[in-house]
């Protein structure tokens, strides 16, 4: 059973607008969440993370929001740029119980239209 879900396989956004990528999880023990970005023919690149003690973490154009009660996190990219076009994966971990095992979603393919 998939513990981390990205229900939107794809998203298209105009350049300069906001991109919002969503992720839901089922395991309430997850306490660390990450977003990765992946270009074709490359491995995933770490983008931004958030621990469960926070509800927001910002790094430049990227902000991750965590809603623990809804078991939902989102990645906001603003303003979106054509170079942001990639597949975005969210991941979660529960270090106390499953050590350094990461659980990944299936990814959302973002296309930023110039």
- Which residues in this chain contact other proteins in the complex, by CB under 8 A? 2, 4, 32, 34, 36, 41-46, 49, 89, 91, 93, 95, 99-107
Complex with other proteins: residue 16 or 95, whichever CB lies closer: 95
CA gap 89, 37 in Å, rounded: 6
| CA max distance for the chain | 44
CB of 18 to other proteins, least distance (A): 24
* Residue 109: strand pairing partners: 10, 87
CB of 2 to other proteins, least distance (A): 7
Complex with other proteins: residue 2 or 14, whichever CB lies closer: 2
Alpha carbons within 13 angstroms on the beta-carbon side of residue 96 total: 6
Complex with other proteins: residue 65 or 103, whichever CB lies closer: 103
DSSP state of 68: T
Complex with other proteins: residue 85 or 89, whichever CB lies closer: 89
Sign of the four-CA dihedral 103, 39, 109, 46: positive
């Amino acid at each position: 059973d998939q513990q981390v879900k990205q229900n939107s396989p794809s998203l298209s956004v105009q350049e300069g607008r906001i991109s919002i990528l969503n992720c839901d999880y089922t395991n309430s023990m997850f306490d660390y969440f990450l977003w990765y970005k992946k270009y074709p023919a490359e491995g995933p690149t770490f983008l931004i993370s958030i621990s469960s003690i926070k509800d927001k973490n910002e790094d430049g154009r990227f902000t991750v929001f965590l809603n623990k009660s809804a078991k939902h996190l989102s990645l906001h990219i603003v303003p979106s740029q054509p170079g942001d076009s990639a597949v975005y994966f969210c991941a979660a971990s529960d270090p106390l119980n499953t050590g350094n095992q990461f659980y990944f979603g299936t990814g959302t393919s973002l296309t930023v239209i110039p």
